[in-house]
């Protein structure tokens, strides 16, 4: 079929994995959505895909990740690298990290996504070489594909680092929402008008199907089902069993637009130019990641009678997901 309609969908992807192999797989899945090249995913394609993104500086895709280091002073030297010193050492880079003090354990957790960590290391490289070496050693231990080992030994041998797994991050979040350590990844299938609203939430991270790179000529054009067509739509077949005049009107409109798109490609236009004629209702897949604080803000703004009904529907599903894992929005 040249033209088809699908419903808006919210697909929670869980928390960004702590383990390197799983983390790279998540990034690959998010990244390949942009080019719709998911068919190229194999057992061992993730590492080279993520390294390619890193090399080309497409670091926003690496934001769909989370590395939470637990840093503990295991020696007798008091006070080296306490959590409250870190904000001063990392300076403006703290905007991209979370610190959670683990009182009673003499430890704290320092979280950041892979992009955050890469750029933080660049930032501190010449400013505080001990700190740079210390963090690089820790990150290299857990994410050796992304962080190359430092040739010199790590400083501050009495300070232990370990990785906080996602269960522990979630347990802390439930107990104290201000800890804000896990990163939650969602996939939305929605129209381009709505993705434009979603990406206004700057504290979240996004990777979206690209109308510049994807050529719809052979795939067909998929639009999001407008609400007025819901009564005529069959979920099983993703089609309209009866052709009410309203259904016919929408299909005719869509076919006309798609024909214009194909004509422009036929005249030699690249997809990024031919897309000019595509409608707001074009289906788009977008991965969105963020911490509880960012998602809470999203839900409070968008699950509202002032919001567009379609983003409100999305926000309601996001709300339900968080409530199902014990988080409250009051």
- The catalytic site residues sit at 302
Rg over CA atoms, the chain: 23
Nearest approach, Cβ of 279 to ligand FAD (angstroms)? Answer: 20
Give every CB contact of residue 81 below 8 A, 6+ residues apart in sequence.
Answer: 71, 73, 134, 156, 159
Nearest approach, Cβ of 197 to ligand FAD (angstroms)? Answer: 7
- CB closer to ligand FAD out of 113 and 222: 113
Nearest approach, Cβ of 228 to ligand FAD (angstroms)? Answer: 22
| β-pair partners for 288 | 186, 206
Got the DSSP string for 7-29? --EEEEEEEPPSSHHHHHHHHHH
203 binds ligand FAD (CB under 6 A): yes
| β-pair partners for 92 | none
Among 6, 265, 301, 325, binds ligand FAD (CB under 6 A): 301
- CB closer to ligand FAD out of 88 and 202: 202
Among 7, 201, 253, 262, binds ligand FAD (CB under 6 A): 201
Among 306, 326, 328, 330, binds ligand FAD (CB under 6 A): 306
Nearest approach, Cβ of 312 to ligand FAD (angstroms)? Answer: 9
* Rounded-to-integer distance, Cα 110 and Cα 100, Å: 7
307 binds ligand FAD (CB under 6 A): yes
Stretch touching ligand FAD by CB under 6 A, among 46-54, 153-161, 273-281, 298-306:
298-306
Stretch touching ligand FAD by CB under 6 A, among 36-44, 85-93, 166-174, 294-302:
294-302
- CB closer to ligand FAD out of 271 and 294: 294
141 binds ligand FAD (CB under 6 A): no
* Inter-axis angle of helices 114-124 and 129-142, nearest 10: 150
Nearest approach, Cβ of 110 to ligand FAD (angstroms)? Answer: 20
Give φ, ψ of 74 to 5 degrees. -95, 0
- CB closer to ligand FAD out of 202 and 267: 202
CA dihedral 147, 79, 91, 105 (to 10 degrees): 70
- CB closer to ligand FAD out of 55 and 200: 200
Give φ, ψ of 233 to 5 degrees. -100, 140
CA distances from residue 54 to 71, 129, 146, 242, 329 in whole angstroms, order as listed: 26, 23, 8, 50, 36
* Rounded-to-integer distance, Cα 99 and Cα 101, Å: 7
- Measured from each CB, the residue nearest to ligand FAD is 202
Residues at the interface with ligand FAD (CB under 6 A): 200-203, 294, 297, 301-302, 306-307
């Amino acid at each position: 079929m040249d033209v088809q309609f699908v419903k808006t969908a919210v697909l929670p992807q869980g928390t960004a994995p702590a383990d390197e192999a799983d983390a790279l797989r998540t990034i690959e899945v998010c990244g390949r959505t942009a080019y719709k090249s998911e068919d190229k995913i194999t057992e061992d394609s993730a590492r080279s895909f993520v390294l390619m993104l890193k090399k080309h500086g497409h670091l926003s895709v690496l934001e769909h990740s989370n590395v939470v280091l637990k840093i503990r002073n295991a020696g007798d030297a008091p006070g080296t690298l306490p959590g409250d010193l870190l904000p001063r050492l990392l300076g403006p880079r703290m905007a991209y990290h979370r610190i959670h003090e683990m009182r009673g354990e003499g430890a704290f957790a320092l979280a950041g996504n892979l992009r955050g960590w890469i750029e933080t290391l660049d930032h501190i490289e010449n400013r505080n070489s001990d700190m740079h070496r210390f963090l690089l050693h820790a990150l290299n231990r857990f994410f050796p594909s992304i962080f190359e080992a430092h040739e010199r030994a790590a400083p501050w041998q009495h300070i232990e680092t370990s990785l906080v797994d996602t269960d522990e991050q979630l347990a802390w979040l439930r107990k104290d929402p201000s800890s804000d350590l896990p990163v939650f990844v969602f996939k939305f299938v929605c129209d381009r008008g709505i993705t434009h609203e979603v990406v206004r939430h700057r504290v979240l991270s996004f990777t979206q199907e690209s109308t510049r790179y994807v050529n719809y000529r052979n795939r067909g054009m998929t639009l999001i089902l407008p609400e007025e067509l819901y009564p005529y739509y069959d979920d099983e077949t993703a089609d309209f069993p009866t052709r009410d005049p309203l259904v016919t009107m929408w299909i005719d409109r869509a076919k006309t637009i798609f024909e214009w798109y194909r004509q422009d490609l036929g005249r030699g236009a690249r997809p990024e130019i031919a897309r000019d004629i595509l409608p707001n209702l074009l289906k788009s897949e977008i991965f969105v990641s963020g911490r509880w604080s960012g998602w809470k803000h999203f839900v409070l703004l968008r699950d509202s009678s002032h919001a567009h009904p379609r983003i409100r529907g999305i926000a309601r599903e996001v709300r339900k997901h968080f409530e199902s894992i014990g988080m409250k929005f009051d």
